[in-house]
Structure 1
Amino acid sequence: MHMVNALVIRRNTQLAKTQKALRAAQYVRMSTDLQRYSIQNQAAAIAAYAQQRNLTIVRTYVDEGRSGVRINGRAGLIELIEDVQSGNADFDHVLVYDVSRWGRFQDVDESAHYEFVCKRSGVKVAYCAEQFDNDGSLLSSIVKNIKRVMAAEYSRELGVKVHAGHCRIAGLGYRVGGPLTFGLYREMVDEKQRSKGRLAKGECKALKTDRVRLRPGSEEEVAVVRWIFQQFVVERKTNIDIARKLNRANIANQHGRPWTDIMVHAILKNENYVGNLVYNRTSRRLGQKLTRNPHHIWIRNTAAVEPIVDRNLFARAQKIMAERYVVLSEDDMLRRLRLTLARKGKLSDGIIRNTAGLPSTQSYVKHFGSIRKAYALIGYKASRDCAWYDARQHWSDVLSSLAARVAEELRSDLGIQVDITDGPSLSLSRRRKIRFQVVRQLAKRGAKHAAQWRVHRPKPDDEVLVIPRLNAPNVEIQDYVLVAASGCPRYLTLSDSSLARHRAVRVETVDELIAEIKARFILANHVAPTKPTLKNKRRKRDRPKTRNGRARR
């Protein structure tokens, strides 16, 4: 990277206006960390191209170890597009080594879109190592499109070859990627099966001829795994009960964290403990959605790992878990709900959730449209208002519409790239997230008590929570509250008097809400935090003060 940065003029460098047309930015990318010289080679070719055309490289955007199949995760390209769209770019040329470094997008129109964004803002994209000039002529347009197709096809063919190679290696009994569960570790072996040491977390094999095998962990870890199967099969304990016992005994999982029921379930389903190595159960091709593959294309080796759990015990565990998931007809669902009503005398979400053999409330809503309709089919009228279950789809549509409007305002006014995800939430560049969540007003415990709203924050990576608060009947939006999610507890109770304590801002209308969101992101982008000056700290007189604390020579 030293050669890349050496060719860059810093932001505070003042150039004459007549030279602005000669200012350029360079974008360099390498796909894997093993291509250690790729960035330098690209920078050298770009520097030669810039010198021939009297261009001055003033900015560098880098993506190291990032695939070009999609833009997600490519912070350098995302920042480049943001600077161009926002008008902050102080250059009018972008130099790229070739078409494939710009991206190997499977949809060539996506690659063309990002180039068009630059062109629309007056920034020309030039491919330095290509045999054509990107001047918009008929020949260059045809060749450029062919190059894009070739780049996409290269990634597709490479993905097919890599997947076939992984299947072959897994069929021989070697480990191919994927996280490890408790009680196992990875061992690197050479082509003659001689051990080359244990691989720690994050480490990988050094040579292409090396392979990775799974080995049982320590005696203590193996004993814990066997104890889990014994508790589940013989003692008939649930996953939650097993996790609680492990946590009470201060036994950490493979990550050094407390156990959960999902972690226990992963151990009970893992065939590695009986010596089997299974591969290709799921696949994700070229950044697409994760898909579950049919059983007949799974790769299974039955003697790849030293077994630590008896096969009969493992088979009994699989049978118990399989019997828990039963496909019921709608008539059978109503019959079980009617029997529960006869035993309990009433029905509620808690009763349905805690009754063994009864489907969840969500299952009844999915099959019958609402929990109230399911109650009506068995002749039961709940004392509690069930309108909230019926209105969930309505409020989901309201939040989706609100998220779409906020996203459009951020794109058009601030030039921020925004993706709408499930939740709904907005995923912004630089890993920022805005989550929208409507909350009901809790029933007042008395006339003197203030109105309260209960908020559940499901994911810890949100930056801002946008909370529409409903009025007392819970049929209309009363106001909107913005909360900085960092440092907030998972469950949050909001009242008018607690807003300041939670660093929350209340607004009345959607326009005020959008203005507040814009102000927050403008402030975050343009105001850098300052470090407090330490008192009683003397500066050495013989060392000149520089930005990075070291003397420049």
Structure 2
Amino acid sequence: MANSLVIRKGTSLAKRDKALRAAQYVRMSTDYQRYSIQNQAAAIAAFASQKNLTIVRTYLDEGRSGLRIKGRPGLIELIKDVRAGQADFDHVLVYDVSRWGRFQDVDESAHYEFVCKQNGIKVTYCAEQFDNDGSLLSSIVKNIKRVMAAEYSRELSVKVHTGQCRVASLGFRVGGPLTFGLRRELIDENRHSKGELTRGQRKSLQTDRVRIRAGSDEEGAIVKWIFHQFVVECQSDIEIARQLNRAGIANDNRRPWTDNMIHRILKNENYVGNIIYNRTSRRLGQKLVKNPRHQWVRGEALIDPIVDRSLFAQAQKIMAERYLSLPDDQMLLRLRLLLHRKRKLSFRVIEDAAGVPSVASYVKRFGSLRKVYALVRYVSRRDCDWIDTRGFWSEVLTRHVTEVVEALRSDKGFRVDVDEKRSCVTINGETRIFFLTARQAAKRRLNHLPYWRVYRRREMSGFLVALRLDERNKEIEDYLILPASRMRGAYIGFSNAMIHGATRVETLDDLIVQIKKYFRKGSKSGAPKRSSARRRTR
């Protein structure tokens, strides 16, 4: 797309009538020439020239489905700017109705257009044959177009699903990664191998197919050992996973083994040479549903088997006998008896108890473990206040990020990008600052120093701004700027005596001043200096 079509936010524009300014919204779900971003932008630019409109904003969703607004940052930002009154334009130009969205509920499509109209902004479809002026004819035609856009997605979904079922019936793999000990092999139309597909890779040609084959002999031996331990040695899923982890055996995810991984292996018919498809489906982004058995697509003896069929059948019989559906009152009764016997409840107590359903079963049936505790009248000693206040502090972080961004953008020396979902601010395209909430742990003794704990995501780099809470975890006590490189582990715990290379400030205004001081464009250091814990902390 030509740079002349895009004027970034913050650019100084000549003063002109707002009615002559417009934003363009462009979206493309796949690489389809008719709806390419360049073609849409060219058509919109031509339309704007005819109407004497100046395009001052571009909202872009490239490679995004139009079924729903989720996952479309361009449209989300457009609606957000309109609702917040930050739109410095009076028109939104869209190529056609389908680019606005193929929402399965046409009222949703109308809702977002109404939001724009309610805030004095007109949505115009440049390639349509009607003028979106609110007349009876345009309203009828526009609604028909919305229905046609939604119906196109429904028809395409049926065709794609039918094609996938046919491909699966021929013995080819339809779907993503496999379980341990299996490989995806890419073959051409003549069934000649083109190599192995690793995790994340896809076929690029429609004529190519993917088939399943067994992995290495070492992996096959591990799969056989898992079935032997489960059937012959009568080991549980979790115990098998523990033995594999103790032996240092890696899986295909390069993560520690879990009972769920073992369970998926024991249930997978690929290990006896069968292929099953369409056990579950999710049509047009809706809820995942389990399909009845007569809709399953099965293929027998299509893969070289790894496990003996009789051993596999015994494993299925054991798992079927282990599953017992209990009514709600029986599940709660067994938990009350366990509480009476153990005097306490926890994840490990429930999992280790014989004759008691698993924690996952309770959560699936009642919603959460806390709700289950309330039903059996058990008060946990664990402080769960952080669960109840998680939404509140998330909003607080968002407000802090917004205020910091506004303050930096008002300063001409900074170029700022923001990721509100991750509470992250990127300054001058290089350094990232993540905002986190640090809760204060309860003191075990009166003479102990205050101690804070915060969750740090692994991908965080740059600097962390920790909002340290007071003793009751109700108010913000102060702020710390910490180098992320010096913090290790998912959870960071620190006290005042343990802070090195950190800077402490009292208020949000002081925090903004400190950030500007550190990251001002042209600064020699460009980063916070290491400071003395004695001078900077209390």
**Per-residue deviation, 1:31:** 0.9
| Counterpart in the other structure of 2:123 | 125
For the residue of structure 2 that corresponds to 1:134, the secondary structure is coil
Mapped partners of 2:331, 2:73: distance in 1? 52
Question: Which position in structure 1 is the counterpart of 2:323?
Answer: 325
- Find the residue that maps to 1:264 and give its secondary structure: helix
1:387 maps to amino acid: V
Shift of 1:494: 7.9
Contact in 2 for aligned 1:479/1:506 (Cα 8 Å): no
- Code of the residue aligned with 1:246 in structure 2: it is L
Q: Report the Cα distance in structure 1 between the residues aligned to 2:354 and 2:206, rounded to whole angstroms.
A: 52
In structure 2, the partner of 1:448 is 447
Match of 1:387 among 368, 379, 383: 379
Provide the residue aligned with 1:80 in structure 2. 78
Between the aligned partners of 1:100 and 1:206, the Cα distance in structure 2 is: 26
**Larger mean Cα displacement after TM superposition, 177-186 or 4-13:** 4-13
Compare 449-458 and 18-27 and name the one that shifted more. Answer: 449-458
Write out aligned runs for 1:368-379 (5 A).
Answer: 371=373, 374=376
For normalisation by structure 2, the TM-score amounts to 0.73
8 Å contact from structure 1 (residues 333, 358) kept in 2: no
Report the CA distance shift for 1:443/1:9 in structure 2 as closer, same or farther (over 3 A). closer
Q: Deviation at 1:361?
A: 7.1
* C-alpha contact (below 8 Å) 1:453/1:469 kept by paired residues: no
Q: Distance in 2 between matches of 1:297 and 1:448?
A: 67
Give, in angstroms, the shift of residue 478 of structure 1: 5.2
1:283 paired residue number:
281
State how 1:15-94 maps to structure 2 within 5 Å: 15-18=13-16, 20-33=18-31, 38-94=36-92
1:514-533 alignment, distance < 5 Å: 533=524
Moved more, 264-273 or 347-356: 347-356
Q: Is the 1:442–1:453 Cα contact (8 Å) retained in structure 2?
A: no
SS of residue matched to 2:284: coil
Distance 1:284 1:519 in 2: 50
Amino acid at match of 1:448: N
Partner of 1:215: 213
CA apart distance, 1:529: 8.0
1:176 aligns with 2:174: yes
Question: Residue 147 of structure 1 corresponds to which residue in structure 2?
Answer: 145
Shift of 1:47: 2.1
Q: Matched residue of 2:56: which SS?
A: strand
Counterpart-to-counterpart distance in 1, 2:145 and 2:519: 41
Determine the structure 2 residue equivalent to 1:260: 258
Q: Percent identity?
A: 55
Q: How far 1:303 sits from its partner (Å)?
A: 2.6
Question: CA 1:332/1:282 → structure 2, altered by over 3 Å: closer, same or farther?
Answer: closer
Give distance in 1, aligned partners of 2:173 and 2:308.
22
More deviation in 145-154 or 107-116?
107-116
TM-score with structure 1 setting the length? 0.71
Within a 5 Å distance, the mapping from 1:269-308 to structure 2 comes to: 269-308=267-306
Measured in 2, the distance between the counterparts of 1:52 and 1:335 equals 75
Distance 1:231 1:112 in 2: 58
Give the 3 Å change call, closer, same or farther, for CA 409–532 of structure 1 in structure 2: closer
In the superposition, relative to structure 1, how do residues 319 and 24 fare at CA in structure 2: closer, same or farther (>3 Å)? same
Gaps of 5+ in 1: 376-385, 417-427, 472-476, 508-515, 536-553
Q: Contact conserved, 1:167 with 1:279, CA < 8 A, in 2?
A: yes
Match for residue 430 of structure 2?
none
Question: CA-to-partner distance for each residue in 1:475-496, whole Å, 9 max, x for gaps?
Answer: xx75468999986854566879
Quickly say closer, same or farther: Cα 1:111–1:404, change in 2 above 3 A: farther
SS of the residue corresponding to residue 286 of structure 1 reads helix
Counterpart secondary structure, 2:254:
coil
Q: Do structure 1's residue 194 and structure 2's residue 184 form an aligned pair?
A: no
Aligned residues: 491
Any conservation in 2 of the 1:403–1:436 contact (CA below 8 Å)? no
Distance in 1 (alpha carbons) for counterparts of 2:77 and 2:439: 35
Cα 1:453/1:359, change in 2 over 3 Å: farther
Does residue 115 of structure 1 match 2:113?
Answer: yes
* Cα offset, 1:98, TM superposition: 0.4
Displacement of 1:79 after TM fit? 2.4
